Structure 1
Amino acid sequence: MTRRLLSLLYIQVLIAIVLGIAVGVLWPETGTALKPLGDAFIKLIKFVIAPVVFCTVVHGIAGARDAGKVGRVGLKAIVYFEVVSTFALVLGLLVAKTFRTGEGFHLDMSGLDGRSVQGFVQQAEHQSVTDHLMKIIPDSFVGAFTGGDLLQVLFVAILTGFAITALPDRMREAATGAVDTLSAIFFGIVRIVVKAAPIGAFGAMGFTIGSYGFTALLRLGELVATFYLTALLFVLIVLGGIARFCGFSILRFLAYIKEELLIVLGTSSSESVLAQLMDKLKRAGCAPQVVGLTVPLGYSFNLDGTNIYMTLATMFLAYATDTELTLGQEMTILLVAMLTSKGASGVAGAGFVTLAATLSVIPTIPIGALAILIGIDKFMSEVRALTNLVGNGVACIAVSKWEGALDHAALDAAMAGNPRPLPEDRVIA
């Protein structure tokens, strides 16, 4: 029995997280030195994400053969993302105003080193709406796969999928077969790479605790605790309500994706389980075409955890610097955050870049105040990633139900702990 438990990936990841924390606490220098293990795992996952997303989206569009259906699914997904993302932004704002997190901090800007955030501020200056739209178009076909921006991969994949649907039958079947073969290869690579998740989680957690220690949580613990509470409320109430409407329990869904949640907890990256999440959603009764479009789109347009963080952190900095905001300025924060969060997963230091871009429209909040968040951002990035992951999983099931493409019997079986096997051999774990 013990040997069987130890063979389960999520048990291995859980053990690795505990060991990483122990090393970070007992031997901080050793824990800090473990950073390359976590970085290497993230790099291994990221190098295969672009081709996996490309093949999945192309297969979904080409397999549907109905451009109208693809457009309908995409439109429904975007509408869902915008509505739920707005709930996340508003919830973060309301919680901040209710608890007035940061009030009484009386932050003295003269004591902060603004140089530590200059890189993020400079990036934020180039995050206008036009820049976001222009970045969607890659410099070349290959460039979409090397730039680290999922929006560019989606753009190329959608064009390729529609191009294949317009081919004669024989050529379309040949092209679809080639994409399926490539997809099987890349899913096979993911199956190999994901076995290293315990090593990655061990290194990432050892580095986090070794570098910052538990004192990092105490310095700005009020913001961290408020963010954790808000994210939990969002998952249980907002996503829980959507889940109930779709006919399943959010708690059972969390249990269903527990392995993916633990990997994300250890690596602070929701991208590390993108392929696994898509497989589990297919097993849970979501149509492959809906999964292939909704999940990759969600990684750029449905960042619920990031949205909560942006409004909550902005209000925290306002209270901490004794800055009074008008209702108009608060509404401006919501509108700007809706834009700056899109595609944030493809931006280095996404949390700070999008936050800096949001702060730039409210000049009364000193943008240099961002420096006080650097030490604790790592602890909040994990919850951002976890919330984003759960949000995208629920979104896919909701869009599948809306489209009439949800197998409720398969969903019930999955939530009961008996997911059905996929017809194709693409099982990740």
Structure 2
Amino acid sequence: MTRPLRKFSKNLTAQVVVALLLGVAVGTLWPAVGVSMQMLSDIFIKLIKMVIPPIAFLTIVIGVAEVRDLRRLGRVGGQALIYFEVVSTIALIVGLIVMNVLKPGAGFDRATVDSQAVDVSKYKAAPVGSYLSDFLSGIVPDNAVAAFARGDLLQIVFFAVLFGGAAVLVGDRARPFVLLAQSANDILFKIVGMIMRLAPVGAFGAMAFTVGRYGVGSILVLGHMLLAVYATCIIFVFVVLGAVARLNGFSLIRFLRYMGDEVLIVLGTCSSESVLPRLMDKLAHLGCSRSSVGLVLPIGYSFNADGTAIYLSMAALFIAQAYGIEMTLAQQLGLLLLLLITSKGSGSVAGSGFVVLAATLSATHVLPVEGLALLIGVDRFMSEARSVTNIIGNGLATVVVSKLSAEFDPVQADAAYAERFGAGVKFNLKPVVVSAGEDPVPATPMMSPQPD
């Protein structure tokens, strides 16, 4: 094997980029073949989902058991929820502002989409009150085993926190189980490393299906809306999240380079879940403590979907503009309050945003749920933007909350950067200031990093 081929075989980023380009080519030249390639993407995502429940459970239990201080765990969780609420609110506001400025739905010819007779009856338009109460009551599993079978991440997190807390109270008698859990977690992450070798295949299948199924024509029909969503997500990531990163003493650009493989995989598969185990591993290796990674990242997948929040606010206003409905400032503020409720629990799986959007539209009593038909054609393309924004936002949130909670090891972060980018590249932009009497908590990686 020649040296370039050997380097390519070890470079996951290059492999995924080539796979995405091949997927676009196949979907464009042979649409029927491209549509049939969805099977490859489905298999890859199923393989990842297969290991998510046990990894999430074991990681949280190990992290909580090693903290040995439940008050410290509560502090991390409380700061995470406050951070999620603030940042997701900003995401909603940014979406509303961009739509009021660009107005991509103004003068839109609905006949081009209405003629397709798209069925939107499958999207349940539940009242927001019922939707919220179902979500809150659904956090507590009625059967822990069933939660694992369904892969319900939020219920698994809830059960794992209780289990880990009980292990702390049991004390030394629980230590054998914790050691066994650590060994099992190492095995599971080794499986993840094996599965990730198939990431280019999954990305190829998803991209070929998307282009083959929806074609370039759907992009042209709703091109303005599509560009507006992508532009808004880019603005949010580099302006809002960039400012958050700088305020916490590190560079967003360097952080994005560090998680570049995960961004490309999500771009191809349109599923944030496809990189959750690998992202947990990389954030722990970056210096975040196991307890903060295990708690903040899985909860963020339900409570901090920044990209989905942007999409929901923009989609609602797009439908209003397309139907010629002038929403007053008071109505838009009411929409914002509704979205603060309905955007929580908007899962990380492609297409889940439509169910949440239906609940929001029906609750306004102003916007027609039938307007969903206007967006179905390009939803898959917009799903790429919101899924990538979601994982960037959640990855950043984990680092920020870890730093705020003194659960972050800057020395480990610099070592991780040096390992990936070479000596001289540092994580921190400025020295970490530690308050008197407070020691930073060093993080122990969940495992050695998987080779790229």
TM-score, length of structure 2 as denominator length: 0.90
Native 8 Å contact 2:49 2:274 kept in 1: yes
Measured in 2, the distance between the counterparts of 1:305 and 1:112 equals 30
Q: Which residue of structure 1 aligns with residue 273 of structure 2?
A: 271
- Does residue 140 (structure 1) correspond to residue 162 (structure 2)? The answer is no
Note closer, same or farther for the CA distance 1:53–1:127 as it changes in structure 2 (3 Å cut): farther
Note closer, same or farther for the CA distance 1:57–1:247 as it changes in structure 2 (3 Å cut): same
Measured in 1, the distance between the counterparts of 2:77 and 2:353 equals 26
AA at the equivalent of 1:101 = P
Note closer, same or farther for the CA distance 1:123–1:22 as it changes in structure 2 (3 Å cut): farther
- 1:308-323 equivalences under 5 Å are 308-323=310-325
Q: Which residue of structure 2 aligns with residue 371 of structure 1?
A: 373
Measured in 1, the distance between the counterparts of 2:32 and 2:388 equals 28
Q: Which residue of structure 2 aligns with residue 227 of structure 1?
A: 229
Note closer, same or farther for the CA distance 1:110–1:303 as it changes in structure 2 (3 Å cut): closer
- Does residue 86 (structure 1) correspond to residue 89 (structure 2)? The answer is yes
Deviating more after overlay: 331-340 vs 388-397 = 331-340
**Displacement of 1:415:** 4.5
- 1:182-197 equivalences under 5 Å are 182-197=184-199
Native 8 Å contact 1:106 1:321 kept in 2: no
SS in 2 for 1:120: coil
AA at the equivalent of 2:450 = I
AA at the equivalent of 1:27 = W
Note closer, same or farther for the CA distance 1:36–1:126 as it changes in structure 2 (3 Å cut): farther
Note closer, same or farther for the CA distance 1:193–1:12 as it changes in structure 2 (3 Å cut): same
Q: Which residue of structure 2 aligns with residue 70 of structure 1?
A: 73
- 1:387-398 equivalences under 5 Å are 387-398=389-400
Q: Which residue of structure 2 aligns with residue 330 of structure 1?
A: 332
Q: Which residue of structure 2 aligns with residue 362 of structure 1?
A: 364
Any gaps of 5 or more consecutive residues in structure 2?
428-442
Q: How much identity, in percent, do the aligned residues show?
A: 46
**Displacement of 1:332:** 1.8
Q: Which residue of structure 2 aligns with residue 174 of structure 1?
A: 176
**Displacement of 1:243:** 0.9
Measured in 2, the distance between the counterparts of 1:347 and 1:130 equals 21
Q: Which residue of structure 1 aligns with residue 43 of structure 2?
A: 40
Question: In the comparison of the two structures, how many residue pairs are matched?
Answer: 428
AA at the equivalent of 1:61 = V
Measured in 1, the distance between the counterparts of 2:54 and 2:146 equals 12
Native 8 Å contact 2:350 2:383 kept in 1: no
Among residues 139, 145, 153, which one is paired with 1:150 in the alignment?
153
**Displacement of 1:185:** 2.1
Q: Which residue of structure 1 aligns with residue 14 of structure 2?
A: 11
Q: Which residue of structure 2 aligns with residue 287 of structure 1?
A: 289
Q: Deviations over 1:202-244 (max 9, x none)?
A: 1111111111111111110011000000000000000000111
Native 8 Å contact 2:19 2:203 kept in 1: yes
Cα RMSD after superposing both structures: 2.2
Measured in 1, the distance between the counterparts of 2:200 and 2:384 equals 16
Native 8 Å contact 1:106 1:322 kept in 2: no
TM-score, length of structure 1 as denominator length: 0.94
Measured in 2, the distance between the counterparts of 1:241 and 1:413 equals 24
Native 8 Å contact 1:144 1:156 kept in 2: no
Note closer, same or farther for the CA distance 1:359–1:113 as it changes in structure 2 (3 Å cut): farther
Q: Which residue of structure 2 aligns with residue 352 of structure 1?
A: 354
Among residues 248, 256, 261, which one is paired with 1:254 in the alignment?
256
Q: Deviations over 1:4-58 (max 9, x none)?
A: 3311112111111111111111111111111111111111111211111111111
Note closer, same or farther for the CA distance 1:129–1:109 as it changes in structure 2 (3 Å cut): farther
Any gaps of 5 or more consecutive residues in structure 1?
none
Native 8 Å contact 2:287 2:444 kept in 1: no
SS in 2 for 1:101: coil
**Displacement of 1:274:** 1.0
Note closer, same or farther for the CA distance 1:109–1:383 as it changes in structure 2 (3 Å cut): closer
Deviating more after overlay: 380-389 vs 107-116 = 107-116
Native 8 Å contact 1:9 1:259 kept in 2: yes
Note closer, same or farther for the CA distance 1:111–1:257 as it changes in structure 2 (3 Å cut): closer
- Does residue 31 (structure 1) correspond to residue 34 (structure 2)? The answer is yes
Native 8 Å contact 1:124 1:356 kept in 2: no
- Does residue 99 (structure 1) correspond to residue 102 (structure 2)? The answer is yes
Deviating more after overlay: 117-126 vs 229-238 = 117-126
**Displacement of 1:277:** 1.2
Q: Deviations over 1:75-105 (max 9, x none)?
A: 0001001000001000001111111220111
Measured in 2, the distance between the counterparts of 1:181 and 1:221 equals 50
AA at the equivalent of 1:302 = N
